[in-house]
Copies of this chain bind each other. A is one copy, B any other.
Amino acid sequence: MILEKKKAFNDFALSKGLRSTRQRDVILDVFLSTHQHISVEELYLKIKSSNTGIGHATVYRTLKLFAESGLAREILLHDGQTRYEHVIAGEHHDHLVCTKCNSIVEFEDETIEKLQKEIAARHGFLIKSHKMEIYGYCAVCKQL
């Protein structure tokens, strides 16, 4: 699974004439080892802590590449930090975002997906992707 993703990114790199570098390997490894929704800063700190001496700009640049390659997806919350999540082929999940603690719970709902298709069909619309985010307070924060 991780190997597949590495291969997928290598293929992308090849097709774009990009070169294979130590930095990209490290960043890809760290990204793949993380869980959902990591911010660039978090990833940068994770990498920094392993003393690989990779710069800020490179992390930003490389994550943009991951997004472009289809490996990752940019997500924008309302805290001014861009986050990246893993794109899992053939799977789509949506988000419950807590606006107090910024935690994110993922969910998937077949029926909603089906309704989306119906709505799109009704408008002659061809779906490429979609995004659904529910904002509010998570189970913990709503009690505070």
Contacts and interface: CB of A to CB of B under 8 A. Distances in A.
Contacts of A2: none
Contact of A131 (B123, B128, B132): B132
Interface of A: 74, 76, 78, 96, 98-99, 105, 107, 109, 111-112, 115-116, 119-120, 123-139, 142
A131 B99 CA distance: 14
A68 to B, nearest CB: 13
Contacts of A76: 76, 78
A107 B123 CA distance: 10
Contacts of A123: 96, 105, 107, 138-139
A66 to B, nearest CB: 15
Contact of A115 (B96, B99, B109, B127): B109
A93 to B, nearest CB: 11
B109 A119 contact: yes
